[in-house]
Amino acid sequence: MSAQIKDPSRSSYYVDGDFYRTLIERFGDWQDDERIVNDHIARDMFRSLLEREARLLDQHRYEDWLRMFTPECVYWAPGRPDGGDPRTEIAVIFDDRRRLEDRVFRLRTGYAWSQAPRSRTVRLVTNVEVFSTADANRRMVRANFLISEFWDDETRRLSGWCGYNLQHAVDGWLIQAKQINLIDCDQCIRNPSILL
């Protein structure tokens, strides 16, 4: 297979059975007190990364935000508070690299009526905890979020916590997986069309 065909922005070969199994395993039982990284410099570095991510989204800098992810990434908002199994259950969102780029493309078309006019958001990211893994180049990070979103006469709050699987790459840490756990993920939500 040529590199062109395997470009994850163009085609989706990496979302296979092993990918799902690894993802479920990594997000199964990772918040282990024994693995908390207490080094404040390391924690601060990851905190900065998440704060930058929040700012890029608030500023609608979606293309820059996409560059924070690895090429073979996943952006996942489960439909159940316990995460569930994306192979047998609908998720609120389950995007691979290409669909995440679709999501940004759609918002840029000018015809996404759910975002015309677009929402204004302010995101708070707190309670950042970093967990080591067996792989020195991989970290799991947990952070709580509160998104204040103004759209169509209403300011509403979306809240929950995110789990990140971060991978160390040549130019720093990249998001390989972002799991967005909305506290009301199994409830009806009005206009869920912003990037989370």
Partner 1 sequence: MSGFETREAQKPGRTTSAYDWDFLVQDDRVHRSIYADPEIFAAEMTHIFGKTWVYIAHESEVAKPNDFVTRKLGLRPVIVVRDSDGRLRVLYNRCTHRGTTLCRQERGSARNFQCPYHGWNFGNNGKLRGVPWPDGYTQDIRDERFNLAQVPRVQSYRGFIFATLNMDAPDLLNWLGPITRPIDEWLDRNPGGKIVVCEANRFKYKGNWKLAYDNSSDGYHVIYSHRSLIETENRMTAEPNKGMAYYKNSPDSLAMYVQYMGNGHHFKDKRPNLQPRQGGLWALESLHPGMEYYESEFRSRYGERADSLLDLAGSEPVNINIFPNLSLLGNHIQVFEPVSVNETNAVWYGTRIEDVNGDIGDALEGINALRMRTQEGFPNFGEVDDLANFEQIQRGLDCLEDEWIYMNRGYGLPDRIKHNADGTISGPATDEVFMREYIKEWKRLMSGPAHLTIQREP
Residues making contact with partner 1 (CB under 8 A): 10-17, 19-20, 74, 79-80, 84, 86-96, 98-99, 102-103, 105-107, 109-114, 116, 152, 186-193
Min. distance of Cβ 141 from partner 1 in angstroms? 23
Helix (H, G, I), strand (E, B) or coil at 134: coil
Nearer to partner 1, 127 or 187 (CB): 187
Hey, what long-range contacts does 146-151 have (CB within 8 A, 24 or more apart)?
147/121, 147/122, 147/123, 147/194, 147/196, 148/121, 148/122, 148/123, 148/124, 149/119, 149/120, 149/121, 149/194, 150/119, 150/120, 150/121, 151/118, 151/119, 151/120, 151/191
Nearer to partner 1, 143 or 180 (CB): 180
Query: CA–CA separation, 43 vs 130, rounded Å?
Result: 6
Min. distance of Cβ 15 from partner 1 in angstroms? 4
Min. distance of Cβ 107 from partner 1 in angstroms? 8
Nearer to partner 1, 95 or 129 (CB): 95
Helix (H, G, I), strand (E, B) or coil at 78: coil
Nearer to partner 1, 81 or 172 (CB): 81
Min. distance of Cβ 165 from partner 1 in angstroms? 16
